[in-house]
A and B are shown apart, each in its own frame.
Chain A
Amino acid sequence: MKAKAVQSSFRDRTQEFLSVSERLRKSITSGTSQNGPSSSSSRAEEKRSVVAHQSEFNRRASKIGFGIHQTSQKLSKLAKLAKRTSVFDDPTMEIQELTAVIKQDITALNFAVVDLQLFCNSKNEGGVSSDTSSHSTTVVDDLKNRLMSATKEFKDVLTMRTENLKVHENRRQLFSSTASKDSPNPFIRQRPLAAKSAAGASNNLPQWANGSASSSQLFPRKQVDAESQPFLQQQQQHQQQMVPLQDSYMQSRAEALQNVESTIHELGTIFNQLATLVSQQGEIAIRIDENMDDTLSNVEGAQGALLKYLNSISSNRWLMMKIFFVLIFFLMVFLFFVA
């Protein structure tokens, strides 16, 4: 470092810069050790291996970052699919595939990040400048944070999807148990009088089953599946149409009974929760009561103290005597000085 003049306030480090760049160039292109003006060969070796280490680290970190980015893109697609899922055309297969793929990706990225951290730690044991080590730890932490946020998003999407499924289940239950609030299916109207079995079959499916594919439309609900299965066979075998129709009637009654039972069960749990909540709140109410009692006693004590103070101030016999004494005292001093 050369201070050019006394007044200059900069340091010309060009020479240093040139030497360092030459050193780096030579260490990257050739394998021979290079004697820079201020470095020894061993240090160059170290620096080269450090550089190689660092580039390896950077490569892996960039790969992991890219993987995380891709996974978050897939996750946003999954979130869109889960949000738009409707009762009718549920893209269940796609959602499940996408979920499986994303789960695999996340676990693989998790392993990769753990590996990267081990790698970074092992490298830090070689004598490396603190800047590099702190940089690598920061990078690893950043990747971990991003992976964690991606996992959290994934969990949120899955919960949203289960809630949607629950809502659809409820809606379907509502419709299939009453089957009275739906608009009539236009396809059913075109059935002729002779197609008794088909009419009988379709009457017991939920009203909004598409009439054109009534037998082939399989809903994810198990109960409807159990009902539609006998219907499929019924449509194929004209002979046995009567017995499944009886069965379907009985089945629908059994299903209605099951619905009632499950509803009662749910009501029981709701009542239990209600009782828990109310008992917890009772505790809170008791605490409030105690606080108020404490406040009351404090205020009463304070009032008593203030009353005493008031009494002592209003009847200030002592005070008068004190003032009198002070006056006498000053009079004495005054007299002594004058006389």
Chain B
Amino acid sequence: MKITALLVLKCMPEGADPIILANACDVSHFGFFQRSSVREFIVFVSRTVAKRTPPGQRQSVQHEEYKVHSYNRNGLCVIGFMDDHYPVRSAFSLLNQVIDEYQKNFRESWRTAQADSTEPWPYLDNALTKYQDPAEADKLLKIQRELDETKIILHQTIDSVLARGEKLDSLVEKSSDLSAASQMFYSQAKKTNQCCSIL
């Protein structure tokens, strides 16, 4: 359930290597000495995948224990490195969001980029941390989860209502017994009053 990196690349036409426009990596779970090599590895793999993603397509590639999801939209390609547990649909919805946000922020300025840009883009970093939980990214998943919780609560409610029904049944029995007993009591009292007044 982990996102390791999110990148936005510009796909060059005709086979040249794509250019990185924004990069957010979370390599904290690697040892200190491996971090730079992991970053380079991420960069390399993302370039490769972006080069091989045709425009207007989504793609998911399995690499060792990561899944790399890429979405290419009109030359702007956004790539996410996630682990196997991350649901694919949430991954793609997250990529959609990122690419929309990027286009909103940068309009078309990325088209003129020629070299890897190294400025950090805060939105991407925020997104990386915020969307570690797939439910955040995917509203459908969130709704489904909440609905399931509601269903569980309702089941419990129905159980307690049934228990309440049982208690009410026992109460009704007891109250009817009580009413019968009180009736007998009344008739007995009346009898003792009536018949022995001679003596």
Contacts and interface: CB of A to CB of B under 8 A. Distances in A.
Interface residues of B, number: 57
B168 interface: yes
B117 interface: no
Contacts of B61: 193, 196, 199-200
Given A203-B88, A263-B147, A312 B197 contact: yes
A190 to B, nearest CB: 9
Contacts of B176: 291
Nearest to A256: B140
B151 A299 contact: no
Q: Which of B140, B162, B182 gathers the greatest number of chain A CB atoms within 10 Å?
A: B182
Given A177-B144, A245-B58, A298-B185, A291 B193 contact: no
Given A260-B147, A278-B161, A288 B58 contact: no
Interface stretch (B4-12, B23-31, B63-71): B63-71
Contacts of A330: none
Interface in A73-102: none
Given A287-B172, A305-B193, A263 B144 contact: yes
Contacts of A184: 65, 84-85
B185 A302 contact: yes
A66 interface: no
B111 interface: no
Interface in A198-222: 199-200, 202-204, 207
A112 interface: no
Given A203-B67, A253-B89, A277-B161, A298 B148 contact: no
A11 interface: no
A300 to B, nearest CB: 9
Contact of A256 (B65, B144, B161, B186): B144
B134 A242 contact: no
A328 interface: no
Contacts of B110: none
A267 B154 contact: yes
A288 B43 CA distance: 75
Interface string A170-204: 00001001111110110011010101100110111
B85 A295 contact: no
A260 B143 contact: yes
Contacts of B183: 294, 298
Contacts of A207: 84-85
B98 to A, nearest CB: 16
B164 interface: yes
B145 to A, nearest CB: 8
B148 A249 contact: no
Q: Which of A174, A179, A185, A264 gathers the greatest number of chain B CB atoms within 10 Å?
A: A179
Interface string B68-91: 000000000000000011111100
Interface stretch (A15-23, A48-56, A268-276): A268-276
B62 A203 contact: yes
B158 interface: yes
A298 B58 contact: no
A66 B61 CA distance: 62
A51 to B, nearest CB: 60
B129 interface: no
Contacts of A267: 147, 150-151, 154
B165 A294 contact: no
B57 interface: yes
A53 to B, nearest CB: 56
Contacts of B179: 291-292, 294-295, 298
A299 B150 contact: no
A291 B57 contact: no
Contact of B59 (A245, A301, A306): A245
Interface of B: 1, 48, 52, 54, 57-65, 67, 84-89, 92, 134, 140-141, 143-145, 147-148, 150-151, 154-155, 157-158, 161-162, 164-165, 168-169, 171-172, 175-176, 178-179, 182-183, 185-186, 188-190, 192-193, 197
Given A193-B63, A270-B155, 13 more contacts: A178-B141, A182-B85, A184-B84, A188-B62, A195-B62, A204-B88, A246-B58, A252-B89, A263-B148, A284-B168, A292-B175, A298-B182, A302-B189
Interface of A: 174, 177-182, 184-185, 188-189, 191, 193, 195-196, 199-200, 202-204, 207, 242, 245-246, 249, 252-253, 256-257, 259-260, 263-264, 266-267, 270-271, 273-274, 277-278, 280-281, 284-285, 287-288, 291-292, 294-295, 298-299, 301-303, 305-306, 308-309, 312
10 contacts: A177-B141, A253-B89, A263-B147, A281-B168, A291-B178, A295-B175, A295-B179, A298-B179, A299-B182, A305-B190
